[in-house]
Amino acid sequence: MSGTDPIPAASHIQLDALGHDLEGRVVLEGISVETRARRIGIVGRNGSGKSTLARLLAGLIAPTRGSLRVNGCDLAADRKAALREVGILFQNPDHQIIFPTVTEEIAFGLRQQGRTKREAETLAVETLIRFDKEGWRDAYVTTLSQGQKQLLCLMAVSAMAPKLLILDEPFSGLDIPTKAQLARYLGLYHGTLIQITHDPREVEGYDEILWLDQGKLRMHGSVAEVLPAYIEEMTRQGEADDIADLPG
């Protein structure tokens, strides 16, 4: 993939008293953040609301309370803006891939942006060339490994040229070499990147960290400020035997 693409301005992300309920249960509450950081990590235990926040940021769902804007746009209310501004990469590529062939999958998002079929197919092939994967052009998705499927999803999102890319635990279940290879491709993305993870090692080189704890923002700041406190708390909780406690 070429590293010579023009570098876009960092996205302006504004969360104001953001809250979200799911089936009558409060999942997120009182999240207020404003940032123009280019690399943002969101950490927290399972169930802390990280994936819900990812979907809110991508405009896939609307908040129950408060507001969320990316580059001034309410993405949940403006799907065209969402397709232009944000791309999201989910944990399981099988939940994201729709079409049987690689080129069709990459072209789909481009068609959603209003490209003609011919334009979308041309841009899909150009994307494969940028990633040095032109040989995948006629490949069937069923022939790809899990890591290759995740790379396909990354190429499909990259083809749409979003200003903000959200990664919802994209390395979960992948082996170490595949993680390293995908991380190398991600390093060439010049837009704003938000990565959801429970593993602090994956976001050590980032600009800012948001720590979610039971649906609330526990800390927001630099890596040096947030990650040591997060690691200390996760270590403390790991030493406690709360997994043995029964509810009630």
Query: Is a pLDDT exceeding 90 seen at residue 124?
Result: yes
> pLDDT tens across 153-180, in order?
999 998 998 999 999 988 777 788 878 8
Mean pLDDT of 39-56: 95
Query: Is a pLDDT exceeding 90 seen at residue 33?
Result: yes
Question: Residue 240, exposed/middle/buried by CB under 10 A (0-12, 13-18, 19+)?
Answer: exposed
Confidence of residue 232 (pLDDT cuts 50, 70, 90): very high
CA-wise closest residue to 60 among 102, 92, 90: 90
pTM summary value: 0.86
Yes or no: say if 10 and 190 are a contact pair by the CB < 8 Å rule: no
**Mean pLDDT across the chain:** 90
- Report residue 128 as tokens: 């494969």
> Which homologous superfamily is 13-238 in?
P-loop containing nucleotide triphosphate hydrolases (3.40.50.300)
Four-residue CA torsion sign, 114, 150, 89, 187: negative
Q: What pLDDT sits at residue 3?
A: 47
Q: What pLDDT sits at residue 243?
A: 60
Share of the chain above pLDDT 70, in %: 94
Query: Is a pLDDT exceeding 80 seen at residue 6?
Result: no
Q: What pLDDT sits at residue 2?
A: 47
Confidence of residue 82 (pLDDT cuts 50, 70, 90): confident
